[in-house]
Amino acid sequence: MKTAVIVFPGSNCDRDAAVALERATGKPAEMVWHGNAELPDADLVVLPGGFSYGDYLRSGAMSARSPVMEGVIAHAKSGRPLVGICNGFQVLTEAGLLPGVLMRNADLHFVCKTVGLQITNNETIFTNGYASGQTINVPVAHHDGNYFADDETLDRLEGEGRVAFRYTDNPNGSARDIAGILNDEGNVLGMMPHPERVVDEALGGTDGSALFASLVEALQ
Amino acid sequence: MKARIHITLKNGVLDPQGKAVQNALGSLGFDGVGDVRQGKYMEIELSETDPDKAEKTVELMCQKLLANTVIENYTIKIGD
């Protein structure tokens, strides 16, 4: 199973994502510079967290127009899994692969702490290693994580089971406590919390491991 | 030719930064400050000399990059 992590200027969770992927798959992830015109063939692509382009214009806006994104969009349209974590989630909304937008946190504070996440839908390729309704502990670290979409979009996301994760104690003002959503095909996940940071007990927990294990299982 | 672009949040979209500015103005002693909405202003130099063509190009720029139309509106003025 081949995995790839896209590296933007200002990504800072790319190596964490690569470590989490390697632990789950047993093979190193390919690190792909954002300026590459082509995306190497991969079964799973991760857009990592960070502050790409220093959050210029809007978080994720510049990265969403990077040369490699044409290949990333084609990868998603082909039905293969794509995960955007934190800044990666912002890039996915800016690229139009997921609906809505991540706005400045409602209280204007940068929030950096471990939060409770409820598994809202465990019947996805990303979450089937968790129990439905299970609560896991995963860190967040962001300034722009306040998920916003119009009511019609939110109703559709909820009605179609496309809310993957909800905050148990909303840290940023996100509409309907939404922490992670799926596209309509169910192969693209965007989430603000960092599962790649909790794949080792030495670093504070392993609640993120099941997400990567779920993907490996789904792709085998 | 220069394009002047204002990008503002749509009505109904919460603007916590504008709210913080409003509160700060109040605490500085400015009375009677109502709602504050924060936005962006950009100036773009263009080599195009036809104002209509320039406006169409800048419109595309706004849609493709400069504004996020999920939450933002934009207005364009073309001039010297």
Residues 6+ apart with CB under 8 A from A67: A34, A35, A36, A37
Is the model's pLDDT at A220 over the cut of 90? no
Residue with tokens 């994720």: A60
pLDDT bracket for residue A57 (50, 70, 90):
very high
Mean pLDDT of B6-32: 94
**Under CATH, domain A3-219 is a member of which superfamily?**
Class I glutamine amidotransferase (GATase) domain (3.40.50.880)
Q: Do B13 and A100 touch (CB under 8 A)?
A: no
**pLDDT for residue A105:** 96
* pLDDT tens by residue, A87-140: 999 999 999 999 999 999 999 999 999 999 999 999 999 999 999 999 999 999
Query: Between chains, do B71 and A103 touch, taking CB under 8 Å as contact?
Result: yes
Mean pLDDT of the region A191-204: 96
Q: Which whole number is the average pLDDT over A203-218?
A: 96
CB-based contact (8 Å) between B13 and chain A?
yes
| Four-point Cα dihedral A207, A164, A72, A213, nearest 10 | 30
State the smallest CA–CA distance between residue A108 and chain B in angstroms. 7
Residue B71 sits at the chain A interface (C-beta within 8 Å): yes
B13/A61 CB distance under 8 A: no
pLDDT tens digit string along A158-175? Answer: 999 999 999 999 999 999
Is B2-79 in CATH node 3.30.1280.10?
A: yes
The answer to whether the predicted template modeling score (pTM) of the entire model surpasses 0.90 is yes
Chain A neighbors of B65, CB-CB under 8 A: 57, 61, 65
Q: Which residues of A are catalytic?
A: 86, 194, 196
The answer to whether the CB atoms of A101 and B71 lie below 8 A apart is: yes
**In the prediction, which pLDDT does A202 show?**
94
> What are the residue ranges spanned by the domains of chain B?
2-79
For chain A, domain boundaries: 3-219
